[in-house]
Amino acid sequence: MRVFRRLVTAGVIVGSVAAVAACSSDKATGTQTGQQGGHTVVALASARFSPATLTVPVNSAVTWQFGDTAHNVTFRPTAGAPADIPGANANTSVSRTFLSTGVFAYDCTLHPGMSGSVTVGQATTQPPPPPPSGGYP
């Protein structure tokens, strides 16, 4: 029985270390390069997305967790971008699945300067320029 407990404990430790290693981030750029449990989360704190940029494989879901302030996620016009997430999403979570490769920049149009991007797959293009000052058509 004692050997069994040690094996279980060792398995839990190894599994925990593997889970932490699977979700890594580049602290210098804030770019998230991994996923946790096959799902990537972007938290909205104050007037910023965290992480602001992330990289995921094709067919990955990304969830935006809205805090106690209303925000939205408006993708800049790019082929293959998922549907926008409309405003007034305080205290909710909304997911979008990315089905094609590319760089998908987005903004919270309720808070100027609040921007982020999702790089999907092996995209090598640069992120699109900042949104136009007059807004989107």
Could you report the per-residue pLDDT of 32-49, keeping only the tens digit for each?
A: 444 445 579 999 877 899
126, part of any domain: no
The confidence score (pLDDT) of residue 134 equals 62
Q: Does any domain span residue 98?
A: yes
Count of structural domains within the chain: 1
pLDDT tens digits for 125-135? Answer: 555 666 666 66
**Beta strands 74-75 and 48-50: pairing type?**
unpaired
pLDDT digits (tens, 9 = 90+) for 56-84: 999 999 999 988 888 999 999 999 999 99
Domain CATH code at residue 106? 2.60.40.420
Q: Is 8 left (phi over 0), alpha (psi -120 to 50) or beta?
A: alpha
In a domain, residue 77? The reply is: yes
Query: Looking at the domain assignment, is residue 38 inside a domain?
Result: yes
Nearest to 53 by CA among 128, 95, 104: 104
Q: Across all residues in the chain, what is the average pLDDT?
A: 73
39 found inside a domain: yes
pLDDT on residue 100: 95
pTM above 0.75, yes or no: no
* Straight-line distance from the first to the last Cα atom of the chain, in angstroms, rounded to the nearest whole number: 68
How far is Cα 91 from Cα 14, in angstroms, rounded to an integer?
A: 34
Rounded Cα distance between 86 and 49, Å, is 16
Inside any domain, residue 4: no
pLDDT of residue 85: 94
Residues spanned by the domain of 115: 25-120
Whether residue 19 is contained in a domain is answered as no
